[in-house]
Amino acid sequence: MITGTQMRAARALLGLDQRELAQASGLSLPTIQRMESCDGVVRGNVDSLMKLVDALAAGGIELIGEGALSSGGGRGVRLK
């Protein structure tokens, strides 16, 4: 779904700090911190993950999944 690295990259593209992402997604700051510290795919309840992905999408972030068409291959993010 989304990795900790993708979260950090998405935040950087949007110019948000962790607190601002927490507010935008309706999640707590410790939840955002825990998610971003994950190696690999972020684990969490589906509701929290959907809030996070929806907040990033509202900011214009498109998640690139493993195996999706991209010039470099692999996972990533891009600004729409």
| pLDDT above 80: residue 74 | no
Q: Read off the CATH number of the domain in which 48 is found.
A: 1.10.260.40
Q: Give the confidence band of 44 by pLDDT, cuts at 50, 70, 90.
A: confident
d(Cα 52, Cα 27) in Å, to the nearest integer? 8
Please state the domain count of the chain.
Answer: 1
Chain mean pLDDT for the chain: 91
pTM for the full model?
Answer: 0.87
CB 22 within 8 A of CB 32: yes
**Quick one: pLDDT at residue 65?**
79
**Quick one: pLDDT at residue 67?**
62
Residues 8-33, mean pLDDT to the nearest whole number: 97
Residue 35: domain span: 4-79
C-beta contacts of 21-25 below 8 A and 24+ residues apart: 21/52, 21/55, 24/55, 24/58, 24/59, 25/51, 25/52, 25/54, 25/55, 25/56
